[in-house]
Amino acid sequence: MSHPLRIGLAGLGNVGAGVVRVLDANADLITRRAGRPISITAVSARDRQRERGLDLSRFIWVDDATELAGRDDVDIVVELIGGADGPALTLARRTLAAGKALITANKAMLAHHGLDLAAAAEAQGLALKYEAAVAGGIPVIKGLSEGMAANRIARVYGLLNGTCNYILTRMENERLDFGHVLAEAQAAGYAEADPSFDIDGIDTAHKLSVLAALAFGARIDFAAVATQGIRAVELADIDQAAALGFRIKLVGLAEASEGQLFQRVHPALVALDHPLAAAGGALNAVVAEGDFVGRLLFQGRGAGEGPTASAVVADIIDIARGSIGHAFGMPVAALTALPPADIARRRGRYYLRLTVADRPGVLAELTAALRDHGVSIESLIQRGLSADGDAMIVMVTHIAGEPQVLASLAQMAASDAVTGAPVMMHILDF
C-alpha cells in the first residue's frame, strides 16, 4: 500500500473537529476506499485551549495557519477557516504556490476568488476541491461536475441555506413571527449573533454563484446575483401562501439562456407538490435540470459537523485516489463570461401583499394600477381590519412581465391609501 497522505488541517471549529472524528471513526474503511492511509499531521486554529472533545496531542500544532502550506510533512491542506479574504485566502494561495492540493469549505472565498484559485491549481496540475462549500453533505458538486457532465443544464435552483429554511419552517408549523423564531435560533446556535449573511440571502448567493459556474461553464459572477432575504416575510404571508396552496422558501435560482446568465436569490412561493416544498427544517435541496437526464433532486442535511465533515473527507479520498479534474468542470480558459440576463425578459406569476386604509374605492385603485401596466389578476383575497383600521389585500397575478409588475407596485405604493410598503414574491412555476 502507498505511503500515507498527510493532511494539514486549518480550522478546528465544528467542521474541523468533525473531520478528525470521521477520519478516526472510519479509518479502516477510508484507507481501503482511498487505496492508502490518510493521516492528519498538523493542525491550526485560533484558540488552542478550547475544549473540543478530541485528543490533539498527536498532531503538530501550528499557530499561524498559513505556515501549513510550507511544511514538508503536509501533502495537502484543508482550509476550514472561513471568510472571503484574510488568512483563508493567504493560506489557499500559498498552498497552491507550494505545489499542494487544496480542499476548502469556504463558499465566500470561492465566490470572490474561485477563478483565480482554480487557475493557480490548474497551472500546477493540482486539485482544488470544495464539495463541502455548497449544501454541506449533499454531493451536489460531484453530481453536477461528474454525474451530469454529458448534459446541457437548463437551470439549477434550490434551498441553499439551512438557517432560513429552519426559520420559515418554524414560522409555518408553530405560527410564530420572524423576529421570535430568529431570536430562538440565535439562542440555540442555529443562527449567528449577526445573522445577516444568512437571512439577507448573501450566503445563498455565494453558493449559487459557484453552482452557476459549474452548471453552465460560466465564469463566476457573484456581483450579478440579485439578492433578497427573508426579513420582510411575515406570518400573514405564510398563512396566505398556504391558503393558496404554496409554501414560502428562500430560493436561489440560476438559468443560462440566449447567451445570458440569470442569477437571483429571493423568497418564493413553492407549490406544495413541488419537491422543494417537502424539504423542511434545516434541510437543503437542489434541483438541476439536464437536457437528457431530466430533473434531478439532491436533498439532505446542508450544514452541521457530520454532513460537512463527510463532504470534506470525501474530497480527501478523491485526492488520495489521484483525482485532480478541473475545479469548475472545465479549464478556466474555457469558462464563458456570460452577461447578466435582462430583467425585462423575465415573466412569471407573482404574489402581491398590500396593507391599505379601509375606505371605498381602494380596491378599484389597486386593480387600476395593474390594469394600467397590462397585469391581470388570477386571485384576490381581502382580510379584515387590523387594530389600526387597515385591511390586507393579497393578489396573485397571471403570467406577466416583471417590469410591468414592478411598475404596478410603484404606482400602488404612491397612493395615500397604501399604508405600508407593498411586498412582492415570485411564484416558482417549474
Q: Are residues 161 and 291 in the same domain?
A: yes
13-29 burial by CB neighbour count: b if 16+ within 10 A, else e? bbbbbbbbbbbeeeeee
Last residue of a domain, one of 114, 133, 152: 133
Q: Are residues 374 and 245 in the same domain?
A: no
Average pLDDT over every residue of 300-315? 92
Domain for residue 325, yes or no?
A: no
Write down the pLDDT at residue 313: 97
Q: Average model confidence (pLDDT) for the chain?
A: 94
185-206 burial by CB neighbour count: b if 16+ within 10 A, else e? beeeebbeeebebbbbbbbbbb
Domain for residue 295, yes or no?
A: yes
Q: Are residues 114 and 163 in the same domain?
A: no
The grid coordinates listed for 352 are 402581491
Domain for residue 312, yes or no?
A: no
The H-assigned helical ranges of 152-273 are 162-174, 178-188, 196-199, 202-216, 235-243
pLDDT at position 41 over 60: yes
Which percentage of the chain shows pLDDT scores above 70? 99
Write down the pLDDT at residue 144: 96
Last residue of a domain, one of 83, 110, 133: 133
Cβ–Cβ under 8 Å, residues 394 and 240: yes
Beta-carbon-side half-sphere exposure of residue 260 (alpha carbons within 13 Å): 12
Write down the pLDDT at residue 304: 83
Write down the pLDDT at residue 296: 96
Which percentage of the chain shows pLDDT scores above 90? 84
Q: Would you please indicate which residues are annotated as catalytic (active-site) residues?
A: 207
Pairing of strands 128-129, 101-104: parallel
Q: Are residues 284 and 391 in the same domain?
A: no
Q: What is the rounded distance in angstroms from the CA atom of residue 71 to the CA atom of residue 159?
A: 39
Last residue of a domain, one of 107, 133, 159: 133
Tally the residues of the chain. Answer: 430
Boundaries of domain holding 413: 344-428
pLDDT at position 271 over 80: yes
Average pLDDT over every residue of 243-253? 96
Write down the pLDDT at residue 190: 73
Which region among 139-153, 251-265, 274-288, 339-353 has the lowest average model confidence (pLDDT)?
A: 339-353
Q: Are residues 272 and 166 in the same domain?
A: yes
Q: Are residues 187 and 126 in the same domain?
A: no
Write down the pLDDT at residue 125: 96
pLDDT tens-place string over residues 164-177: 999 999 999 999 99
Write down the pLDDT at residue 373: 96
pLDDT at position 1 over 60: no
Q: Pick 70 or 381 by higher pLDDT.
A: 70
Q: Are residues 352 and 294 in the same domain?
A: no
Tell me, what CATH number does 275's domain have? 3.30.360.10
Q: Are residues 289 and 155 in the same domain?
A: yes
The grid coordinates listed for 198 are 444568512
Q: Pick 112 or 194 by higher pLDDT.
A: 112
Domain for residue 330, yes or no?
A: no
Cβ–Cβ under 8 Å, residues 241 and 270: no
Helix (H) or strand (E) holding 5: strand 5-10
The H-assigned helical ranges of 52-161 are 86-97, 107-123, 140-142
Q: Are residues 233 and 361 in the same domain?
A: no
Residue 189 pLDDT level (bands cut at 50, 70, 90): confident
Write down the pLDDT at residue 299: 95
Tell me, what CATH number does 354's domain have? 3.30.70.260
Average pLDDT over every residue of 141-147? 95
Which region among 51-55, 129-133, 265-269, 381-385 has the lowest average model confidence (pLDDT)?
A: 381-385
Domain for residue 331, yes or no?
A: no
Domain for residue 209, yes or no?
A: yes
Which region among 109-118, 210-219, 308-317, 378-387 has the lowest average model confidence (pLDDT)?
A: 378-387
User: What is the sign, positive or negative, of the torsion defined by CA atoms of 345, 351, 357, 361?
Assistant: positive
Domain for residue 126, yes or no?
A: yes
Residue 328 pLDDT level (bands cut at 50, 70, 90): very high
Four-point Cα dihedral 303, 304, 310, 311, nearest 10: 30
Pairing of strands 423-428, 350-357: antiparallel
Q: Which amino acid is at 153?
A: I
The grid coordinates listed for 240 are 396566505
Q: Are residues 208 and 125 in the same domain?
A: no
pLDDT at position 334 over 80: yes
Cβ–Cβ under 8 Å, residues 301 and 283: yes
Pairing of strands 5-10, 38-44: parallel
Cβ–Cβ under 8 Å, residues 81 and 65: yes
Average pLDDT over every residue of 110-126? 97
Average pLDDT over every residue of 399-404? 95
Q: Are residues 268 and 176 in the same domain?
A: yes
Domain for residue 278, yes or no?
A: yes
Residue 232 pLDDT level (bands cut at 50, 70, 90): very high
Tell me, what CATH number does 101's domain have? 3.40.50.720
The H-assigned helical ranges of 373-419 are 402-413
Number of domains in the chain: 3
Q: Are residues 223 and 268 in the same domain?
A: yes
Write down the pLDDT at residue 96: 98
Cβ–Cβ under 8 Å, residues 390 and 419: yes
Q: Which of 244, 238, 187 is nearest to 380 (CA)?
A: 244
Write down the pLDDT at residue 387: 61
